Amino acid sequence: MTSDAFCPPTSDFPSSRFLHVLTTRGVVRQYTDAPIAGDVMDALVEGMLAAPNAGNAQAWAFVILDEPRVVRRLRGFAPGVIGAPAALVVACADHSRGPDDPREYEVRRLCVAMAVQNLLLTAHAHGLGACPSHSFRPDPVHYLLDLPPHVQPVLLVAIGHPAYERRPSVRRPKEEVISYRTQARNTTASPRT
Amino acid sequence: MTSDAFCPPTSDFPSSRFLHVLTTRGVVRQYTDAPIAGDVMDALVEGMLAAPNAGNAQAWAFVILDEPRVVRRLRGFAPGVIGAPAALVVACADHSRGPDDPREYEVRRLCVAMAVQNLLLTAHAHGLGACPSHSFRPDPVHYLLDLPPHVQPVLLVAIGHPAYERRPSVRRPKEEVISYRTQARNTTASPRT
């Protein structure tokens, strides 16, 4: 899949409307029985795979489960998945696609998280609700999905049609988490050593 | 900051246009001299802080540098920042806001990555270009910004007005990275043990 060339915002697609999708997204944990349509699932995949990744290595793999019985089985090992989603996406890092180095392992996991964020946003833009989870039991999930050793689950994402209208989450005041720096601490060390 | 209630897509904002922003985003490493306007920076912050986080802990902190001299100083310790961006965002995990547990540390870092993805997308939606980087030297960056010990940089993001039209990146075929499972491997172990 190739991405289109750089596309600046246009008058029919203001940046404020884009931001509104981001700020209205929130975790949804209860779903209706409705399945996810095939074309919507394709859009979710397309959004997910458009995430950045170091060196374009795409050191990731995603397992999509949308058959009710297998979703139920995985849920048994994922206490963070509370409701009965139409689909589960198991977002994994593929550690065969790069050096065997702890910092590289970390980068791959961070890229998987960025792909998951794209997935969450694309789901929300399509009227779906989703919930990422890190509290799954990694060894049983790895075993149940018969994953190769180098493919390691990072996040599980439950997705479905929301059963309720989500209440907004209260966030910390911006001033607590954002700081602006106009100076850096002095140092005599040369930056290039 | 509270998020608005759940907002499904409307006819004036089709999901296809939203997805288009995601699929046209790509890394931009060269920038013009133009600064980032204050209202645009506010939008970037708003998008970033709308990311999900485990238990709504918001165990993160973001340092924004947009004064040229301090941006230059940080760049000395960030080989992944190739051009001269208008701003650098140092996206950090705040490990004081939760248990002292390795898996919790990991979750916080993944949430920071998701916030960074929101930042990248919001930047692109506003006609800016950005580049996330993990290859910075963490100890000098920590020292230069005089961060407390529990605040640990995860990703550095360079942002500016693009100096060129980005070429699309070639991605692996979807079939290589996406698999669908309709069955799980059999096991006799009880899921709840």
What is the nearest CA distance from A104 to chain B, expressed in angstroms?
Answer: 9
Tell me whether residues A70 and B185 touch, CB distance under 8 A.
no
Place B114 in a pLDDT band, splitting at 50, 70 and 90: very high
Chain A residues in contact with B173 (beta carbon < 8 A)? 1
Judging contacts by C-beta atoms under 8 Å, the chain B residues touching residue A15 are 43, 122, 125-127
Task: Tell me the per-residue pLDDT of A81-132, one tens digit each, with 9 for 90 and over.
Answer: 989 999 999 999 999 999 999 999 999 999 999 999 999 999 999 999 999 9
- Enclosing H/E stretch for B124: helix B102-125
CA-based nearest residue to B146, from A182, A103, A174? A182
B184 pLDDT tier (thresholds 50, 70, 90): confident
CA distances from B51 to A40, A190, B47 (A): 22, 36, 7
Q: What is the DSSP letter of A146?
A: T
Q: How far apart are CA A183 and CA A192, in angstroms?
A: 19
How far B176 CA sits from the closest chain A CA (Å)? 8
Q: What is the mean pLDDT of residues B115-136?
A: 97
Q: Do residue B165 and residue A125 have CB atoms under 8 angstroms apart? A: no
In this structure, are residues A40 and A126 in contact, taking their beta carbons and an 8 Å threshold?
yes
Residue A5, pLDDT above cutoff 90: no
User: What value of ipTM does the predicted structure carry?
Assistant: 0.91
Q: What is the pLDDT of residue A188?
A: 58
> Where does residue A19 fall: left (phi above 0), alpha (psi -120 to 50 degrees), or beta otherwise?
alpha
Distance between CA atoms of residues B154 and B175, nearest Å: 31
B52-56, B73-77, B163-167: which has the highest mean pLDDT?
B73-77
State which H helix or E strand residue A65 sits in: strand A60-65
Quote helix, strand, coil % in chain A, to nearest 5: 35, 20, 45
pLDDT given at position B149: 96
List the helix and strand counts (H, then E) for chain A. 6, 5
Is pLDDT above 50 for B79?
yes
Q: DSSP H helical segments within A76-144, as ranges?
A: 102-125, 138-144
Nearest Cβ partner of A64 from B109, B180, B183? B180
How many Cα atoms are found within 13 Å in the side-chain-facing hemisphere of B58? 19
Distance from CA of A23 to the nearest CA of B (A): 5
Region B65-92: mean pLDDT is 94
Lookup: tokens for B42? 């506010």
* Mean pLDDT within B105-118: 98
**pLDDT number for residue B58:** 93
CA nearest neighbour of A1 among B178, B130, B172: B172
Picking from A17, A22, A154 by the largest number of B CB atoms within 10 A of its own CB, the best residue to mutate is A22
Q: Which residue has the higher pLDDT, A133 or B167?
A: A133
Calculate mean pLDDT across residues A175-187.
Answer: 85
Burial of A191 (0-12, 13-18, 19+ CB in 10 A): middle
> What's the pLDDT score for residue A167?
72
**Residue A124 distance to chain B (closest CA, Å):** 7
How many Å apart are CA B60 and CA B48, to the nearest integer?
Answer: 11
Residue of chain B nearest A189, judged by CA positions: B140
Q: Which of A171, A172, A181 sits opposite B70 (nearest CB)?
A: A181
Q: What is the mean pLDDT of residues B25-44?
A: 96
- The stretch B34-58 carries a mean pLDDT of 94
The reported pLDDT for the residue numbered A192 is 45
pLDDT in tens, A67-94: 999 999 999 999 999 899 999 999 999 9
Name the residue among A25, A132, A178 with its Cβ closest to that of B62: A178
pLDDT > 70 in chain B, percent? 89
Phi, psi for A71 (deg, rounded to 5): -60, -45
Q: HSE of A62 in the Cβ direction (CA atoms, 13 Å)?
A: 30
pLDDT above 70 coverage of chain A, percent: 89
Is there a contact between B46 and A177 if contact means CB atoms under 8 Å apart?
no
Task: Using an 8 Å CB-CB cutoff, list chain A residues near B170.
Answer: 2, 56
Confidence (pLDDT) at A11: 43
Task: Report the C-alpha gap between B40 and A22 in whole angstroms.
Answer: 15
State the pLDDT confidence band at B9, using cuts at 50, 70 and 90: very low
Cβ count near A192 (within 10 Å): 7
Question: What pTM did the predictor assign?
Answer: 0.91
Q: Which of A62, A70, A180 sits opposite B182 (nearest CB)?
A: A70
Nearest Cβ partner for B125 among A15, A129, A189: A15
